[in-house]
Amino acid sequence: MKKSMKSKLFFLFLLLAMVPAVLICWLVVTKTNESFTTVMSKSQLETKEMIEQQLQSEMDELLDITKLYAEDEELTEQFSNMDRGKLGETVTPIFSRVQIEHDWNVFEYGNVDGTVFYRGHNPAEFGDDKSDKEAIQAALNKDEIVGLESGNSGLTIRAFVPVIADGEVIGTLQTGLKPEVVNNIANFHDGVGINIINKDREVIISSAQSDGKLDTEAQENVEGAFEGREITSNNKDKWKYYMPLYDPAQTTVVGVIEIIEDVSFLTSINEEIFRSILVIAIIIAIIIGLIAWLVSDRFTKPIKKITGIMSEIENGNLKNEWAGKTSTDELGVLVNAVINTQDTLRNMIEKVQQLSQFVRRETVEMKQAFEDINLSSDQIASKMDEIADGTEVQADTTANIAEKMNQFTYKVKHANENGNMLFHSAEQLEGITDNGSKLMKQSIDQINFTNGEIKETVRKVTELENQTKEITTIIQVIQNISEQTNLLALNAAIEAARAGEEGKGFAVVADEVRKLSEQVSHSIGDVTAILEKLQADTSEVAKALTDGSEKLVQGTEQIGETGNSFNSIQQSVISMMKSTEKISESFHQILENSSDISESVESIAAISEQSAAGIEETAASAAETSQSINNITGTIKGLEKMSIELESLVDKFQV
């Protein structure tokens, strides 16, 4: 089914407006999701880096203090002399102090063969072999290393440094922190759940925000972390990160830290933003649909009425009237031009009808007159026969001939005058038809001009640009949502500040939410740029109006056909003028012949002895006159036929 111009304009306006609206909504949703992902990824990364920094800080501090004691000359001398008693007296107060000040729980000297020489934390036990430990061998190779070890009490930080005397390694010094140092990391980060998992895949410590349990997915991720991979697992409510912890030799994973961040709050905000955008998109679609319908209806209604009037004119109805108000814009000018064209055409047809009727009446009269003339010619021929039979009645017959010739001359003269009148009428008719053709051409030029004006209306379609500014109101709604989100983030930051140290993590999230709100505000600037592009794209609406101008071109073609009919009428009138001119010439010749006949009759009356010659001349003239009259009669019949055709051409118009 062929679509109407109204539906084409409606779908075109709807498409031009909906595409930017959908792009805007998609852009806002995409930017929001990207910002959400960025915020959470950044928060997760910051938490990971903070844990790594805490561990590294504790390790660096332990390693630095350990190196100081390994370089202590008194301790080195006592260890070099293998004097366990004096070494114990020196180490005991040192170990007591570092236990309190630095949370140490290990202070151990080892021999170059890897056996334990002295334990400050358990002096009674020594001599056990630890040469198989990679950390011990690394220290014996003059490497200073620090890392994590997993034991019965949990994960602890251990440092291994060589003890050097006279440039040679004489043993190792191993120190370690209490497991609580590592465990405190789990409870240090408020708002973040942390589980510390040992090499047996057991949760040995968990923060208050964690339930301390590992589901199937978490167990699989833990296994991956023990293989040395850093793993991220995200879902709607929680983002998890699994960080492997290595031994001092950095070769074996001895534990895993599971970082759990609750994102349900931000997810709910993101969903609320999406729902708001969806509602706004629906409202925009309804408003745009209504505007597109009204605009397309305003353009197509007058054009449909004009097309109907042009169809009626094509069918011969010239009594059409415009129903409704006439606007002052280009469509109004077009309506007035069509109605004026119809009125001009109706007046011209009426004049042509009147002229064709007049020509027909005059033709009938001329036909009757020439029939009378033909009858008179027959009578003349009969009289010539009577004259030929006897000259005795010559005088009477001559008198009758003279009388008949006078009548004949009078009728011929009258017919000649009628022929002249017919010729002048034909000239007037030709002038009228020529004027009608000119008016028809002017009508076609007017419609072509109107078509140009319709094309000019394409420029006015750019007014749609102003309507797109209404979308700014919708964007303001998004701006308000952004401001409300910013206010919510500010309130959250205030509450976090009130919570003190426990609210620091939440303050970070609130600050990121505020940044998210600012990014939404920047996105609104992008939306404004898209709207400006929309204003440029409205020029494509001119294509739809071009379809309307094609309807006018069809109307021009229809009026052109009417103009062709007028050209045919004009050609018929010109032909009639030529025929009438020939009739006038024939009448003139008949008058001349009638004069000759009268002279011949007078000559017969004056000179009877020349009667025979006069009779022969009269008979010849009568025959010639009869032939001329027959020719004129045929011409008049042709003129009558053309007048009938002219009436049939104009009768199809209802005036």
pLDDT tens digits along 368-388: 766 776 676 666 667 666 665
Asked: is 331-442+585-652 a CATH 3.30.530.20 domain? The reply is: no
Number of helices (H), then strands (E), belonging to the chain: the values are 14, 10
Summarised one tens digit per residue, pLDDT across range 158-200 is 999 999 998 899 999 999 999 888 878 766 666 677 888 888 8
CA distances (Å), 179 to each of 153, 158, 248, 468, in order?
7, 10, 16, 66
Distance CA 620, CA 400 (A): 18
- Average pLDDT over all residues of the chain: 75
In CATH, the number for domain 450-574 is 1.10.287.950
Q: Is the pLDDT of residue 362 over 60?
A: yes
Give residue-wise pLDDT tens across range 296-310. Answer: 666 666 676 777 777
Whether the CA torsion 88, 91, 96, 99 is positive or negative: it is negative
The pLDDT value given to residue 1: 43
What are 451-481's pLDDT values in tens digits? 676 667 656 656 655 666 666 676 676 667 7
Angle, nearest 10°, between helix axes 5-70 and 471-499?
20
303 vs 297: CA distance, rounded Å: 10
The predicted structure's pLDDT at residue 191: 62
pLDDT of the residue at 110: 94
User: Does residue 520 register a pLDDT over 80?
Assistant: no
Q: What CATH code would you report for 11-272?
A: 3.30.450.20
What is the distance between the alpha carbons of residues 121 and 105, in angstroms, rounded to a whole number? 6
CATH 3.30.450.20 region(s) of the chain? 11-272
Angstrom distances, CA of residue 456 to CA of 236, 330, 450, 542, 599:
56, 8, 9, 9, 78
Sign of CA dihedral 305, 311, 313, 318: negative
Q: What's residue 613's pLDDT?
A: 64
Sign of the torsion angle spanned by Cα atoms 369, 370, 373, 374 = negative
Q: Per residue in 53-70, pLDDT tens?
A: 888 899 999 999 999 999
Where does CATH 1.10.287.950 sit in the chain? 331-442+585-652, 450-574
The CA-to-CA distance between both ends of the chain, in Å, stands at 36
Q: How far apart are CA 163 and CA 75, in angstroms?
A: 10
CA angle 92, 98, 101 (to 5 degrees): 140
Residue pair 37/319 in contact by the 8 Å Cβ criterion: no
pLDDT in tens, 558-573: 667 766 765 776 676 5
Q: From residue 181, give the alpha-carbon distance in Å to each of 23, 113, 194, 199, 287.
A: 53, 31, 14, 18, 63
Band the pLDDT of 447: cuts 50, 70, 90.
low
State pTM to two decimals. 0.42
pLDDT of 387 reads 62
> What integer pLDDT is reported at residue 91 of this predicted model?
92
